[in-house]
């Protein structure tokens, strides 16, 4: 997710006949936040703040994900961004597999729902610096890594959870044989 000092303005409710005023102080300074949410299991999350996005930072984030639980295989859903490595690329951790999402389908990625909630939280506010904005982002994200139920609510009971559970059942069956 890209975040920055160019404010996001949204409509707000107000009394009839009153025009709400939203403070803005547009500055073109931004940074990026990588994020991953665990489907099933303990519903943990991983985040990484970076100054830019490229293959190097994507690989660094994937190493962070893989190091979280070295004995597990981590399957990461990626969109088709040019700065995302392909599955099997050199430098990827052995325990991380990449699964590409179809083009133009952000609704299939559960972390996009978190980015939408974060954007709603940050809209119509002005921040003095990127550091102040990052503090607000971290404060918003803290309940997600402290309370797994927040992540389970984000993922819901839809197709993704059903597919993950079917995959884990199939995996445990094949390992038992």
Q: Can you give the pLDDT of all 177 residues of the chain as single tens digits?
A: 999 998 888 888 889 999 888 888 888 899 999 999 887 677 789 999 999 999 999 999 999 999 998 988 888 888 878 888 888 888 899 999 888 888 888 877 878 889 999 999 999 999 999 999 999 999 999 998 888 888 777 776 666 666 666 766 675 676 555
Question: Residue 37: its pLDDT value, please?
Answer: 86
What is the distance between the terminal CA atoms of the chain, rounded to a whole angstrom?
A: 42
Q: Is residue 92 part of a domain?
A: yes
What is the torsion angle, in degrees rounded to the nearest 10, for the CA atoms of residue 111, residue 113, residue 114 and residue 119? 130
Q: Is residue 95 part of a domain?
A: yes
Within a 10 A sphere around the Cβ of 64, how many other Cβ atoms? 16
Which stretches does DSSP call E strand in the chain? 2-4, 30-37, 45-50, 74-78, 96-100
Q: Is residue 127 part of a domain?
A: no
Q: Is residue 130 part of a domain?
A: no
Residue 133 to residues 6, 49, 77, 127, Cα–Cα distance (Å): 11, 12, 27, 6
Q: Is residue 173 part of a domain?
A: no
Question: Total structural domains in the chain?
Answer: 1
* 8 Å CB contact between 78 and 100: yes
Q: Is residue 81 part of a domain?
A: yes
Q: Is residue 139 part of a domain?
A: no
Give the structural domain span for 54. 29-100
């Amino acid at each position: 997710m890209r975040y920055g000092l160019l404010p996001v303005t949204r409509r707000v409710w107000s009394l009839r006949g009153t025009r709400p005023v939203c403070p803005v102080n547009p500055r073109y300074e931004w940074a990026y936040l990588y994020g991953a949410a665990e489907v099933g299991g303990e519903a943990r999350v991983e985040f990484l703040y970076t100054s830019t996005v490229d293959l190097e930072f994507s690989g660094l984030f994937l190493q962070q994900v893989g190091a979280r639980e070295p004995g597990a295989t981590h399957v990461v859903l990626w969109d088709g961004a040019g700065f995302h490595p392909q599955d099997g690329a050199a430098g990827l951790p052995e325990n991380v597999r990449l699964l590409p999402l179809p083009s133009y389908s952000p609704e299939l990625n559960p972390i996009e729902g978190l980015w939408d909630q974060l954007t709603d939280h940050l809209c119509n506010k002005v921040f003095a610096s990127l550091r102040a904005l990052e503090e607000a982002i971290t404060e918003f994200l803290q309940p997600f890594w402290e309370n797994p139920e927040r992540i389970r609510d984000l993922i819901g009971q839809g197709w993704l959870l059903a597919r993950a559970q079917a995959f884990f059942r199939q995996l445990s069956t094949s390992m038992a044989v």
